[in-house]
Amino acid sequence: MTATADFIAREADGRCVLRFAGNLTLLRIRKLSEQLENLEADEVVVDLTEVDRMDTVGAWLVHKLQRDHKATVVGATEDQQTLIDHVANADQPMKVRREPQPAFEQMVAELGAATQTAMRTMVGLLGFFGALAISIANVIRHPRRFRYNAVVTRFDVVGVRALGIIGLMSFLVGIVIAQQGAVQLRQFGAEIYTINLIGRSAVKELGVLMTAIMVAGRSGSAFAAQIGSMKLNEEVDAMRTIGVSPMEALVFPRVLATVLMMPLLGFYAAIMAIIGGGIFTWMSLDIAPITFVQRIREVVPATDLWQSLIKAPVFGLIISTAGCYQGLQVKGNAEEVGLRTTTAVVQGIFMVIVLDAFFAVFFTSVGWI
Amino acid sequence: MAEAEPIIRVRGLVNRFGAQVIHEGLDLDVRRGEILGVVGGSGTGKSVLMRSIIGLQHPAEGEITVFGESMIDRDEEEAKHVRRRWGVLFQGGALFSTLTVAENVQVPIREFYPGIDQELQDEIAAYKISMSGLPADAGAKYPSELSGGMRKRSGIARALALDPELLFLDEPTAGLDPIGAAAFDQLILELRDALGLTVFLITHDLDTLHAICDRVAVIADRKVVAAAPIAELMKLDHEWIQEYFNGPRGRTAAHIAEREEAAI
């Protein structure tokens, strides 16, 4: 057997001779280390005369026999001896694993860390808003520093390119509302009120809310990922050293574009939902489009539109700030970019919905029912 | 040794990116047991050559054999058998950022030799890491907690994990301090002598070239214009080679190498 490193052990009065043969390499190490595990002898001799090839793992095995059993090595070639010495030199105490923590301690630590993170995020976001306000003030004072190109590019990415998907989504949502509403209202013979349902829910809530969710998924995540990878790449640091403020160059154009695009997209979404609903009522309830449009104009008050137009920029501000903030928090490794991107989307959508609830209560109390 | 079958054989290699031609009819032999330095100006395609040899870049034309087996259009399963016989150190270390250094070293071991028990794997990782000149606490750290030089050393530890016969190093000493770079040169020499390694080394480090390379291949004009020991290269009448080795930095490195040899 030349390909293997099977060994013959000869034992006589507590003396053990391990005669290795063939290749003493990583390929064979599993079997060998199992065989050698229960080696018990007062005196061990390792004979390497018949070893053809030895790699560092083989040398490690020999070194371990030397270390743990005070083995003497015979028959090693010069190269093999160098290799064994080399490996022996490398046998330093080395920490390979992190210290494991007890489960309870770990749970408490994780809970504490999560609380800390939540607190820090709140403070951090507040600080981020402050920094954003300062950079806006700076841009207003020095209008030359306003980056038209960056903002216009973001208009395109956040707004124009989202038209297709947001339009299709809203159109379908409009159909679903009309269909579900019609089924329920038919029981009372009040199918005509389907139009109220479509018009008011689309203009007041759904248009802007669905748009916010879509923008958070499309653009909020993109902001976090873009800025996050720039941060990893030290581009953000490079920017700072050149004297370009990342707040002005990266954050402000994105926030501004999102704030300005959200109302437009929200209005467009509402119109698409109404069109979807209108087509459904025309096809299945036989309400003529002209009647549908007239009815919409009668039942949807202007205040519904004002509500959504007030909410939309606020939602845009929240989504884009969450995205940019999380992106700038990235440090360490590529996994962090993914984590922060997810956080940006979840945080964005969550805060939008919480705020939407507040808005609903507020507008009702001021009489915009 | 010169007559032996070369361990890497490249013939008529052509690489293009769009209209840009990187290599045109490039030939290169790497002999068993040698340390071959590859030099060339920035953008002459040193890394592309390495990527072509290890199968990460599909060349437009040409043939490449490693260990006597063709590397072009290889089946992924078959290529695996060749892959376990080489180790690669990428320019930035390319450590897996979600694993600790020790786990990084264990990845190839686990992939190619499953079933080795964890304790032995830890031991192997530990001595490889310390062999690469890293401190005792490095094994449990994540790449993001390491400095650039330490990351490079961890990359070397991973490249050495399977005790390869052939080692590809892409600018290994770039970013190391001179002491670390010299220690690294020494490490490669020792490993070559002890393990019979063959090393394909891309470098700009003139000291490394003088200290450890048996031959140096010069890439210019989209091909290897010369592959010879430095002393012979310096006699060649090629503008770029003259400028490279006889320029101010080249001369300093040569003087140091001479002095060291004289001291020995």
pLDDT tens for residues B27-72?
Answer: 888 888 889 999 888 888 888 888 888 888 888 888 888 888 887 7
A168-A169-A172 Cα angle (round to 5): 85
Burial annotation A296-327 (CB, 10 A radius, 16+ → b, else e):
beeebeeebbebbbebbbbbbbbbbbbbbbbb
pLDDT at B264: 65
Q: How far apart are the C-alpha atoms of A246 and A5, rounded to whole Å?
A: 61
Which of A79, A92, A94 lies closest to B194 in CB terms? A79
Give the residue ranges of chain A where pLDDT is below 70.
1-14
Q: How far, in Å, are B46, B135, B203, B204, B254 from residue B41 at the CA level?
A: 9, 35, 10, 9, 19
Judge: B120–A333 Cβ closer than 8 Å, yes or no: no
| Cα angle value B188/B192/B198 (rounded, 5°) | 100
Cα end-to-end distance, chain A, whole Å: 91
Nearest CA in chain B to A32: B116
pLDDT of residue B232: 85
**Which of A288, A167, A171, A159 is CA-nearest to residue A215?**
A159
Best of A96, A234, A333, A336 to disrupt the B interface (most B CBs within 10 Å) is A96
Chain B residues within 8 Å of chain A (Cβ atoms): 97-98, 100, 102, 109, 113, 115-117, 120, 122-131, 136-140, 142-144, 160, 162-163, 190-191, 193-196
Q: Are A249 and A239 in contact (CB under 8 A)?
A: yes
- Per-residue model confidence (pLDDT) at position A3: 43
> Could you give the CA distance from residue B203 to residue B40 in angstroms, rounded to a whole number?
9
- Interval B77-97 mean pLDDT: 82
Angle formed by the axes of helices A194-201 and A163-186, to 10°?
Answer: 150
Which residues of chain B does A333 touch, with a Cβ-Cβ cutoff of 8 Å?
97-98, 142-144
Distances (CA, A) of A319 to A212, A323, A324, A341: 8, 6, 9, 12
Structure tokens that stand for A338 in this block: 């993914």
Out of B115, B122, B163, the one facing A96 most closely (by C-beta) is B122
The per-residue DSSP string of A229-290 comes to HHHHTTHHHHHHHHT--HIIIIIHHHHHHHHHHHHHHHHHHHHHHHHHHHHHHHHHH---HH
Taken in order A136, A140, A145, A146, the sign of the CA dihedral is: positive
pLDDT for A338 equals: 92
Chain B positions touching A82 (Cβ under 8 A) are 190, 193-194
Cβ atoms of A340 and A224 closer than 8 Å: yes
User: What pLDDT sits at residue B71?
Assistant: 79
Q: Tell me the percentage of chain B whose pLDDT exceeds 90.
A: 3
CA distance between the termini of chain B = 25
Are β-strands B198-202 and B166-170 bridged in parallel, bridged antiparallel, or unpaired? parallel
Q: Which of A83-87, A159-163, B212-216, B248-252 has the lowest mean pLDDT?
A: B248-252
Weakest-pLDDT range from A72-76, B140-144, B154-158: A72-76
Report the C-alpha gap between A271 and B18 in whole angstroms. Answer: 46
Facing residue for B163 by CB, picked from A25, A33, A333: A25
| Beta carbons within 10 angstroms of residue A52's beta carbon | 12
Asked if pLDDT for residue B228 goes beyond 90, the answer is no
Q: What is the pLDDT of residue B244?
A: 83
The structure's pTM equals 0.69
pLDDT at B1: 42
Nearest CA in chain A to B113: A27
Residue B97: enclosing H or E segment and its boundaries?
none
In this structure, how many other beta carbons lie within 10 angstroms of the beta carbon of residue B77?
A: 7
Residues of A whose CB is below 8 A from B139: 94-97
Segment B83-112 mean pLDDT: 86
Contact residues for B224 (Cβ-Cβ < 8 A; gap 6+): B26, B27, B28, B217, B218
CA distance B141 to A98: 8
> Could you give the 3-state DSSP secondary structure of residue B155?
helix
Residues in chain B closer than 8 A to A234 (CB atoms): none
| Average confidence score pLDDT of chain B | 84
- Do residue A332 and residue B97 have CB atoms under 8 angstroms apart? yes
Chain B residues whose CB is inside 8 A of the A90 CB are: 127-128, 130-131
Sheet hosting strand B8-17, strand order edge to edge: B20-30, B8-17, B61-66, B69-70
